Chain A
Amino acid sequence: MQDVTDLTKTQLDALREIGNIGSGNAASALAQFLNRKIDMAVPSASIMNFNEIPALVGGPEKTVMGIFLKVMGEISGRFLLLIPEKTSLKLLHTLIPGCEIDSALKMGELESSCMREVGNILAGAFLNALSVITQTPMLNSLPSMTYDMAGAMIDSIVADMTAISDKVLMIETSFIESEEDLRIHIFLLPDPASLQLLLQKIGVC
C-alpha cells in the first residue's frame, strides 16, 4: 500500500486526467439525459486533509443532496455526488412530469428514486470510462441517498480511510449549467489499498 502523501506530481497529473475522462463521460450522459448543455470545471486530483473537504461545497453545515455509491472491483473506492438543493429541484422538475416540490425536505419515494437514478447514471458513466482506460472492470453499488449537512456525510464516508493518515486522495470535479448556475460536485476517493493497482494500470507507478 502506498501512502497518498507520497504521490508524485506526475502521478497526480495522471489521476487528474482519468478524472477528466470519467467526468467528461458523466457530463455527456447528464447532458443527454437533460437535453441541455453542461459545462465541466477542470477536475482536480489532490491530497486533502479530511477537514478541508466540506469547505469545497460551502462548509460543513451546508445542506446538500448526497448520493453515495461504492466502487467495486479490483480497483475499489467511494463515489460521492453532492448536489445543492437548487440543482436537485431543477433535476426533479425536469425529469418528473408535473413535479412541483419546492423543498428537498418534501421529497417522496418517487423523487428519491429519481435522484438515485441520476447518481446511478453519473457514476456508471464515470466508472465506465475508467474501466476502459484501466482495462479493469469497475462497478458501482446501488446508490444510497440522503439530504443533510455536507460535513455529516463526509465524516461518515472518509472516517475509516483516515485511521493512519489525515489525508485522502480525492479526484473532484463539478458540472455547471451556467444559465441557471446549477452545480453538481463529484468526488471519487480510491481506496488506499487499491491505489497501487490503479497507478500501475494508468502507467505511472
Chain B
Amino acid sequence: MSAVIPVGMGEMKIARSPEQLVVYGIGSCVILSLYDPKSKAGGLAHIMLPDSSGLDLKSINLVKFADTAIPVLYDALTGSGAFKSSVVAKIVGGSEMFPPTEDFENNIGRDNTEAVKKALKKLGLPLIAEDTGGRRGRSIEFDLERGTIKLSILGEEVREI
C-alpha cells in the first residue's frame, strides 16, 4: 500500500508515484493540480480565495489565493525535479454549495475558478481538464502514476479526469 497524503484547506503538497494525494470535501475551494508525466511528479494546491491584492504578501499564506498559489506550486514542483516543459494543469472544485436566496448570493466558487484559469494563462501553463462549478461537493484522489484525478460526488457515478 503506497502512501496516501491528504491536502487540507490552504495547503500545498508535492508527491511522486506511487504516492497518492487526496482531498476530502471540496466546496467553493479550487484544487489546482500540476503534473509532469515524465518524472511522474505532481502537486496539489488547495486554493480558497481568488485574489490576494491589497494584502501584505509577507504575512499571508500564499497557497490560499489563486494568484499567488500557482507560481508557488509551480516553483515547488519544478524545484523537486519535474520538467518545466511537460507540466500540465487540471482543476477541480469551485462549486456554490448553498443555492442563492433573496438576501445573499455566493460567488466565491465561480470567482476562484476564473482566477485560477487567469493565473494559469499568465504563466503559460496548459489547462488540460477541469471539473468545476455546480452545487455539489467533491472528493478527489490524484494518481501520480497516471496523472489522473478520480472524483467522488454524492449521488453521482465516480468519474475521472
Contact = CB atoms under 8 A, between A and B. Distances in A.
B103 A51 contact: no
Contacts of B26: 151-152, 155
Contacts of A162: 10, 48, 64
Contacts of B136: 148, 152
Nearest to A116: B101
A153 interface: yes
Interface string B52-84: 100100011100100000000000000000000
A151 B137 contact: yes
Interface residues of A, number: 35
Contacts of A141: 101-104
B148 interface: no
A187 to B, nearest CB: 14
Given A59-B24, A144-B101, A159 B137 contact: no
Contacts of B29: 155-156, 159
Contacts of B102: 141-142
Contacts of B135: 146
B67 to A, nearest CB: 13
Q: Using C-beta atoms within 8 Å of the partner chain, give the interface range for chain B.
A: 35 or more
A192 interface: no
A60 B28 contact: no
B42 interface: no
A166 B135 CA distance: 25
A160 B102 CA distance: 20
Interface stretch (A5-13, A64-72, A94-102): A64-72
Interface string A131-158: 0000000000111111111111111110
Given A60-B24, A146-B135, A149-B25, A70 B103 contact: yes
A157 B109 CA distance: 11
B154 A105 contact: yes
A151 B135 CA distance: 14
B108 interface: yes
A1 interface: no
A68 B27 CA distance: 14
Contacts of B55: 163-164
B138 interface: yes
Interface in A32-70: 50-51, 54, 59-61, 63, 66, 68, 70
A156 B96 contact: yes
Nearest to A151: B25
Given A144-B101, A163-B55, A164-B55, A153 B137 contact: yes
13 contacts: A51-B9, A60-B25, A142-B102, A149-B24, A149-B154, A151-B25, A151-B26, A152-B25, A152-B97, A152-B138, A155-B26, A156-B28, A159-B108
Interface of A: 50-51, 54, 59-61, 63, 66, 68, 70, 72, 105, 141-157, 159-160, 162-164, 166
Sorted nearest first, the 8 A-B pairs with minimum C-beta distance are: A151-B25, A152-B137, A60-B25, A152-B27, A141-B103, A156-B27, A156-B28, A144-B98
